[in-house]
Amino acid sequence: MARRKIIEKHMANGVEFVNTDGILIGADVEIGCDTAILPGTILRGKVVIGEDCVIGPDTLIENSTVGDGCRIDACRIYQSTLHNGVTMGPFCHIRPNTEICDGVHIGDFVEVKNSVIGDETHIAHLTYVGDSDVGKKVNFGGGVITVNYDGKYKHRTTVGDRAFIGCNSNLVAPVKLGNRCFTAAGSTITEDVPDNSLAIARNRQVNKIGWMEHKEMKD
């Protein structure tokens, strides 16, 4: 009965529920007008959601703030702040003490923890960003990892504005990447990268011509 009354209160305030199946909303939750809450969404603790958002399906938000115009699909968000126009999901995990600024896109299978992600940054898929300060309009390729733990201490990574982080790059903290820098795909970055620089930290490819023929002869 209490669950139904809470949902009806939000409906009266202009919140849209396509279907209320599996939706749980705490008593302290605030939701803006013209926001849609889709099935399987759980909002618990002190949650504030802005106007014109789409939340769900299958999303959990706990003790967090979500700005206007956000789209969140099948995500877990804990003790964090999302600003306006954020798109996220599916299958993102936003851990405590994270701030995601305006217009950020976070795609599938991304985990962010204790970090600030600057305006209009894209983290498309299969990436871990932990203990990091990321600038504006940064692009993360697939498979990027911020290596923040040395076995004893956590360290921070800093990425400047408009940086491009190539696929499968490892950023070994503590490390700072400057504005408009570029890391080559597959690099393990252990030293600071200056502004406007390309960092390549991998061995050169070697092609051994005819190797398969020799292998088959030995076999």
Q: Which of 93, 122, 125, 155 is catalytic?
A: 125
Q: Is 148:164 a contact under the CB 8 Å cutoff?
A: no
Residue 10 known to be catalytic: no
Q: What is the DSSP letter of 206?
A: -
Please spell the DSSP secondary structure of 152-196, one letter per residue: S-B--EEE-TT-EE-TT-EEESSEEE-TT-EE-TT-EE-S-B-TT
**What dihedral do alpha carbons 170, 175, 179, 182 form, nearest 10°?**
-30
Residue 130, amino acid: G
- Closest listed residue to residue 193, CA positions, set 170, 145, 159: 159
Residues annotated catalytic, as ranges: 125
